[in-house]
């Protein structure tokens, strides 16, 4: 079976490098490309046709949710896995509404990210178990 082609989208070059190193070190994946904005991701998808796009939410210009919506409209076979620093359930819901196949927090660990890419590629929809409701964080009176 050929490796899963992954596009990494994040505005932080250090995050991109760390993810590329971690994902590229596994023979079941190949890092097909990287992008630092939603607009750049859409342009690159047209050329490299990744199986899974690992997408940050907050980036300059077009953010990850808008980019996800456009990617899913134009390239419905590309699966999108959101990887963000935000762990609120409303963002996970927004990501699902945009067409994302999964939602992970960046604190989940590299093994979880690698497993999640494979799961999303194989049709599983997932949400990080640490995603929390903002109401749960408010002090009770």
Of the listed ranges 22-36, 49-63, 78-92, the least confidently predicted one is 78-92
Q: The pTM is what?
A: 0.88
Strand order in the sheet with 29-35: 29-35, 4-9, 52-55, 79-84, 102-105, 126-127
Interval 24-46: pLDDT, tens: 999 999 999 999 999 999 999 99
Give me the pLDDT at residue 141, please.
41
């Amino acid at each position: 079976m050929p490796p899963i082609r992954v596009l990494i989208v994040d505005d932080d070059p250090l995050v991109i490098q760390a993810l590329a190193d971690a994902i590229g070190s596994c023979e079941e994946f190949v890092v097909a490309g990287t992008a630092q904005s939603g607009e750049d991701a859409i342009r690159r998808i047209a050329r490299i046709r990744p199986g899974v796009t690992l997408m940050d939410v907050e980036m300059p210009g077009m953010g990850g949710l808008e980019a996800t919506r456009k990617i899913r409209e134009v390239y419905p076979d590309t699966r999108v896995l959101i990887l963000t620093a935000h762990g609120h359930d409303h963002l996970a819901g927004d990501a699902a509404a945009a067409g994302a196949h999964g939602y992970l927090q960046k604190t989940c660990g590299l093994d979880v990210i690698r497993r999640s890419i494979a799961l999303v590629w194989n049709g599983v929809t997932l949400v990080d178990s640490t995603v929390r409701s903002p109401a749960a964080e408010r002090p009770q009176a």
